[in-house]
Amino acid sequence: MEYIIDYLYIIPIALIAIIIHELSHAVVSYAFGDPTPKLTGRLSLNPLKHLDPIGVLMLVIFHVGWAKPVLIDSTYYKKPRLMIALVSLAGPLSNFILALLFGFLYVLFAGVIKLDNKFIDIVIKFCIYGIMINTGLGLFNLIPIPPLDGSKILASFLSSNARSSFLKYERYGMFFLIGIVLLLQILTYLGLPSVFDYVINWFINLNIKLWVTILL
């Protein structure tokens, strides 16, 4: 029963994380003069415009995942390479900002207000999942494997030939992603922390320490 209740927190947090992540890509690309996000309906808070079924399933179950890529047309950009990198970075950055916001609320309610009631307990648990899921989504999408954001950021700094060769593997990216997620879960099942776990925990601890230092 407790496991089911956890999903009452996880699902809305996952939806918020995905929507803001993809909307950030769309808004930044549109701000750079590209009308494609607006024409394809991605300047929207409607989750159905952004959700990738497999990516959402991975995010809900494993706390790492992805969404439907935002279509962009870099020919509208004044500085294509730089702006592609910035558009790609916008998604993970938005998740880190959300993680910081949830970290602030967590420390505020758990360490400053300190009210002992069920509502505060719900808020605190909501914030914990907000920190975890947004940190995981932001970091996971920075992995330089197509079609994740990290691959587009990396490709922006490669030569034309190297970039073309690198992006040829985009069609196989989904298999790599699923393989990575499954490997992470196998390591977790065996009680063996992965590098990804260490990085996520480091960012989460840094987030909490930051707000504890500021607020307490």
As annotated, the active-site residues are 22
Tokens representing residue 102 in the block: 């949830």
Q: How far apart are CA 44 and CA 51, in angstroms?
A: 12
For the chain, the helix, strand and coil percentages under 3-state DSSP, each to the nearest 5:
75, 0, 25
Indicate the SS3 state at residue 193: coil
Does residue 98 contact residue 133 with C-beta atoms inside 8 Å? no
Q: Is the separation of the CB atoms in 117 and 184 below 8 Å? A: no
- 36 exposure class (CB count in 10 Å sphere: 0-12, 13-18, 19+): middle
Beta-sheet strands, E only, within 62-118: none
Residue 61's nearest CA partner among 201, 205, 182 is: 182
DSSP code, position 180? H
Q: What are the structure tokens assigned to 174, written together?
A: 């989904």
Q: Are 138 and 99 in contact (CB under 8 A)?
A: yes
